[in-house]
C-alpha cells in the first residue's frame, strides 16, 4: 500500500491531485489549504473517495476523523 503524509506545501504543489496514492494530513493543515481548488471541490472529491484522510495526534495516539 502506497501512501503519503502531506503538509501544506504538498497541496500547493498539487501532489495529491496528480497522484493515485492515499494521502494523510492533519486538521490544521486542512484548515490552511481548504480553499485550494474550492471551485472544483477537488479536496471534497479526495475525501469522498478516501484518497485523503485527516488525522490528528492525541496523547501519543492518532485519531482518524
Which residue segment(s) compose the domain that 43 sits in?
A: 3-64
Asked if 64 contacts 53 with a C-beta cutoff of 8 angstroms, the reply is yes
Number of domains composing the chain: 1
- For residue 23, what are the β-bridge partners? 4, 52
Give 5-54 pLDDT, tens digit per residue. Answer: 999 999 999 999 998 899 999 999 999 999 988 888 899 999 999 999 99
Residue 34 φ/ψ, nearest 5 degrees = -65, -15
Grouping H, G, I as helix, E, B as strand and the rest as coil, residue 60 is coil
> What is the per-residue pLDDT for 11?
94
Task: Please identify which residue in the block is written with the cell numbers 494523510.
Answer: 24
- pTM, 2 dp: 0.79
Amino acid at each position: 500500500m502506497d501512501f503519503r503524509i502531506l503538509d501544506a506545501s504538498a497541496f500547493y504543489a498539487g501532489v495529491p491531485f496528480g497522484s493515485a496514492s492515499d494521502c494523510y494530513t492533519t486538521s490544521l493543515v486542512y484548515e490552511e489549504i481548504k480553499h485550494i481548488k474550492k471551485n472544483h471541490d477537488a479536496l471534497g472529491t479526495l475525501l469522498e473517495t478516501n484518497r485523503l484522510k485527516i488525522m490528528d495526534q492525541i496523547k501519543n495516539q492518532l485519531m482518524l476523523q
